[in-house]
Structure 1
Amino acid sequence: MSSDASSVTYSDIQAAAARLDDVVHRTPVMTSSTVNDRVGAEVFFKCENFQKTGAFKLRGGYNAIAQLSPAAKERGVLTYSSGNHAQAIALAGRLHGVDATIVMPENAPQVKLDATRGYGAEIIPYDPETTTREALGQNIAEDRGLTLIPPYDHPHVVAGQGTVGDELFDEVGDLDALLVCCGGGGLLSGCAIAARQHAPNCTVVGVEPDAGDDATRSFQSGTLQTVENPDTVADGARTPYLGDVTFPLVLEHVDDMVTVSDATLVQAMHVLWERMKIVVEPTGALGTAALLQGAVSFPGQRIGVVISGGNVDLGRANTLFEEHGLI
C-alpha cells in the first residue's frame, strides 16, 4: 500500500458514498442545549451509534469488499478486530455473498462477539497478551488464500469512513472545528479529508485515550510511535499504531491531537446517555470527552463531534458508571 498522503482523496470519498448509497444509514445529527451551555458553543453530534452494526465501520468494510475481484470474493476475506470492524466485515461479507473470517481477542466485548457470529462470520479467538493480531491474521490469510482487509490501514477503508464527515458537512454546513476519535486513524483521516473539502479552515482534532496515545505522540513527533495492549475502557482505540496509509494522511490533514483520561471518558459517556438519551460506547465518547473536560475549547463556535459507535454491553456500562460514582 502507498504511504503517500495523497493515497486517499476526496474523489475517493465521493465514489465510496455512491457505493454506500442505500446500503448504510445516513445517520442523524443531534444537538444538546445542555452541552452547548456547558461548553459555550454550538455542537453537532454525528451519531454513528445508529449505523448498521452499531458503528461507522460498515462504511469502510463494505467499500473495500465492493471493490474486490470476483475471484477474491469467491476465496473470502479476513480481518482482525476487537469488534466493530469485525461486525462490519461480517455483514458486508454477507451482503456480498463473501465468506468472512475474523481474528478477535478473547477479551472482546461479548456483545461484539455475539453480533459478529450472528452475521455469519467465522471467529478465530486469540490471547492479546501473547499474540500479535496482525501477524496471526496475515499468516491465516496467506494459508487460506484470503484477502486481508485491515480495520483501518487500507485506502478503501479510509475512503468509506470519510463519508461520515462528508454527510456531517452536507447536513450542517460550515464548521469551525471537528472532533474525531482515533484508534488506527481511518475514521480521523477520512473525516479530515472531507473537512478540507467542505471547510478548509475547520480545525480537525483527533482524540485518543491517555493510555493509547500512540497517534498523539506520532503526530507531535512526526515519527511513528507504538503502544502495546493499552489498558483503557476504549476498546476501539487499543490499536498499537497508525498505519502506512493513515499516518501520512493524519500528518497532512489533521490539525491537532489530544488525549483524555478513562474517568473523563466514562463521565462523557454518561452525559450522552443521560442528557441525550443515546447509547454510546466508551470509544464513541472520545470527542465528547475532550470537549467536556476542556482538552479543546472553541467558545462561540460551531463544533462537529463524531460519535463513532454504540456497541457496549449494558451490564459493563452500568459497572463503569457505578465505579465512577455516576449512578
Structure 2
Amino acid sequence: MLTLDDVRAARERVEAVARRTPLEYSHTFSEMTGAEVYLKLENSQRTGSFKIRGATNRITTLSDEEKAAGVVTASAGNHAQGVALAASRAGVNSKIVMPEYAPISKVKATERYGGDVVLYGNDYDEAQTKAHEIEESEGRTYVHAFDDEYVMAGQGTIGLEIAEDCPDLDTVVVPIGGGGLISGISTAIKEQYPDARVIGVQAEQASSAADSLNKGSIQTIDEVDTIADGIAVRRIGDKPFEVIRERVDEVVTVSDEEIAVALTYLLERSKTLVEGAGAVALAALVFQKFDYEEGEVVVPALCGGNIDMNTLTTVVMRGLVETGRYLKIRTELKDRPGSLEQLIEIIAAEKANIYAVRHDRTSRKIALNATEVEIDLEMRGPDHVESLLEELRDAGYDVEVLD
C-alpha cells in the first residue's frame, strides 16, 4: 500500500514543476459554519488543478525507452492538462483522449500545453477505453488518472503541504472521483497525524466510492451526470479503494444544487473561482454532511478551478436560485389594459427587481380572454421570496414558481 515515504519521494520530483499552493483562513466560512476553516487553494495550481502533481511524478519515473515511445491517457480535462504539461516539460510526446462533451476550455488548454487531443465517447470511461486501444496499437505508456501509485503519491504532496501549514489540523475534506487525490492526501495526513480525520466527498450522481464502501466491494455506476465533471467517474480505482478503506474516515455525497451554492459563495464572498469538483469539499462542510465540533480546524481542498464559462453561467444561476437571490414565476392575467401594471405594482412595493418579462396570449393552457406572464426577478434571499409570493397570492394571483 502507498506509504508516506512514497509521497515524500514524489515531492522531490514534483516541486520542480508544481507550485506550493496557499492555505488561507476564511473568516466568511468560519462564521458561516462555526468551524475554523482554512481553504487549500489548489485551484491556483499550474494548469488550474492538482493533476499536474501526479502526472509529473509518473512521467519523471518512466524509463528512457518509455519516454521515447510517448504516453497516452484519458481525462475529462484536468488530468489531460497535467499530463500534457508534464510530458512537454520532460520532452515526451503525449496523446490525450477526452470525452466528446469535455468543456472546450479544457480541450484548448490541453492543446496549448502540448497534448495531442483525441475526442471520443460520452464520458471518462468511454474515453479510457479508446486510450487503452491507442496504448496497445502505438506502444505508449498509459498514465492513469488515479489508479497508479506514482500518480497517487504525487497528489499526496498536497497533504504534506497541509500538514506543514496547518499543524492544528482536525479534519481535511477531499473530493473523490477515481480516488487518487484522497488516497495520496490521506496517506500523507494519517501517517503524520493519526487522530486527524479525512472526509471524502462525491457528487450524488457520481458516487462510486460511497456505494463501494457501503457494499464492501467496488461498484460501477451505469451513468454519471453532475456539474462536477472533474469527478464524474463511474468506477473508483482498485488501488485507491484499498487506501480509502484503510485511511479515510467517512465518505459523503452532495447534490448539484449544493455544489452550485458552494461555488457561488466562493466566487461572491471569497473572490475565489473553482469548478464544480473544486467546490464539493466546501459544499459538504457548509451543508453539514458530516459531524464536526464548534471551533474544529477544517481544511476543505479546493482541487480545481478550470470551469467553462458557459457552465459557470449555469452554475452561478443555479446557486442564486437555491439561495433565494433569483426567482422566476409564472401567472395568468386578464387580457385587458392595466392588468400587467397592477401585477408589477405589487412586485415594486416588495422591492423586487425585474430582470425580464415574457407575455404570451397564445398558450393553449389559458382562456381566450387571458394572457400568461413569466417574470424573472432579482431577490434578496428566501424570506424576501416568501414575502413576495404571499403578497401575490393574497392579491388573488395563482403564482407558479419555475425551476
- TM-score category of the 2 structures, normalised to the smaller one: over 0.9
How many angstroms apart in 1 are the aligned matches of 2:64 and 2:122? 33
Q: Whole-Å Cα distance in 2 between the matches of residues 131 and 42 of structure 1?
A: 38
Q: Tell me the number of residue pairs that the alignment of Structure 1 and Structure 2 aligns.
A: 321
Structure 1 residue 130: Cα displacement: 11
Q: Cα RMSD between the aligned structures?
A: 1.4
**Aligned residue in 2 for 1:304:** 299
Tell whether the 8 Å contact from 2:218 to 2:238 is kept in structure 1 after alignment.
no
Residues 73, 98 of structure 1: 8 Å contact kept: yes
How far, CA to CA, are the matches of 2:25 and 2:123 in structure 1?
Answer: 40
Q: What is the Cα deviation at residue 22 of structure 1?
A: 2.9
Structure 1 unmatched runs, 5+: 1-5
Q: Name the counterpart of 1:142.
A: 136
CA distance in 2, matches of 1:266, 1:231: 14
Q: What SS does the corresponding residue of 1:257 show, helix, strand or coil?
A: strand
Please identify runs of 4+ aligned residues in structure 1 that moved more than 4 A: none
Which residue pairs with 2:197 in the alignment?
203
> 1:198-237, aligned counterparts within 5 Å?
198-237=192-231
Q: String of CA shifts for 1:116-141, please: whole Å, max 9, x gaps.
A: 01111111111227972232111111
Segment drifting more, 164-173 vs 81-90: 164-173
Structure 2 CA distance for aligned equivalents of residues 155 and 287 of structure 1: 23
- 2:4 aligned partner: 10
Q: How many Å separate the matches in 2 of 1:120 and 1:23? A: 15
Which structure 2 residues correspond to residues 57-68 of structure 1 after superposition, within 5 A? 57-68=51-62
Answer yes or no: is 1:127 the counterpart of 2:121.
Answer: yes
The one-letter code of the counterpart of 1:309 is: G
CA distance in 2 between partners of 1:48 and 1:234 (Å): 16
1:286 to 272, 280, 289: 280
Equivalent in 47, 65, 79 of residue 73 of structure 2:
79
Between the two proteins, what is the percent identity of the paired residues?
39
In structure 1, the partner of 2:313 is: 318
Tell me the alpha carbon deviations over residues 240-269 of structure 1, each in whole angstroms, 9 at most, x when there is no partner.
Answer: 111121110111111110000000000001
Q: For residue 39 of structure 1, what is the amino acid of its counterpart?
A: T
Residue type of the alignment partner of 2:8: Q
Name the CA distance, whole Å, in 2 between partners of 1:137 and 1:315.
Answer: 27
User: Which has the larger displacement, 199-208 or 17-26?
Assistant: 17-26
Measure the CA separation in 2 of the matches of 1:288 and 1:129.
Answer: 25
Please say which of residues 40-49 and 78-87 is displaced more in the overlay.
40-49
Give 2:162's aligned amino acid: L
Distance of aligned partners of 1:268 and 1:323 in 2 relative to their CA distance in 1, 3 Å threshold: closer
- Structure 1 residue 188 corresponds to structure 2 residue 182: yes
- Structure 2: distance between partners of 1:257 and 1:308: 17
Verify the 8 A CA contact 1:229 1:238 in the aligned structure 2: no
Amino acid at match of 1:228: D
Distance between the aligned counterparts of 2:73 and 2:168, measured in 1?
36
Q: Which has the higher contact order (CA 8 A, sep 6+)?
A: 1
Q: C-alpha offsets along residues 191-211 of structure 1, whole Å, 9 cap, x if unaligned?
A: 000111221011111000001
Match of 1:106 in 2: 100
Q: Which residue of 2 aligns with 1:3?
A: none
Q: Which amino acid aligns with 1:173?
A: P
Greater shift, 317-326 or 267-276, is seen at: 317-326
After superposition, what is the alpha-carbon deviation per residue over 1:9-42, rounded to whole angstroms, capped at 9, x for unaligned? 1100000011112321100011211110111110
Q: Is the 8 A contact 1:284 1:307 kept in 2?
A: yes
Query: For 1:277-322, what per-residue CA distance to the aligned partner results, in whole angstroms no more than 9, with x for missing partners?
Result: 1111010011000000110231221111111000002332122212
Q: 1:167 aligns with which of 150, 161, 170?
A: 161
Give the superposition deviation at 1:219: 1.5
Q: How far apart, in 2, do the equivalents of 1:134 and 1:313 lie?
A: 22
Contact residue 75 and residue 124 of structure 2 kept, 8 A: no
Residue in 1 that maps onto 2:48: 54
Task: Please tell me whether Structure 1 or Structure 2 has the larger radius of gyration of its CA atoms.
Answer: 2
Contact 1:174 1:198 survives alignment (8 Å) = no
Counterparts of 2:74 and 2:166, CA distance in 1: 34
| Aligned: 1:258 with 2:252 | yes
2:28 pairs with 24, 31, 34, which one? 34
SS in 2 for 1:26: coil
Report the Cα distance in structure 1 between the residues aligned to 2:6 and 2:212, rounded to whole angstroms. 25
Distance 2:216 2:125 in 1: 28
- Unaligned runs of at least 5 residues, structure 2: 327-403
Residues 40-64 of structure 1 deviation map (CA, whole Å, 9 limit, x = unaligned)? 1101111110000000000000000
SS of 1:132's partner is helix
SS in 2 for 1:245: helix
Deviates more, 1:219-228 or 1:156-165: 219-228
TM-score (norm 1): 0.95
The normalised TM-score by structure 2 is: 0.78
CA contact (8 A) 2:261 2:318 kept: no
Of the three residues 254, 267, 277, the one matched with 2:261 is: 267
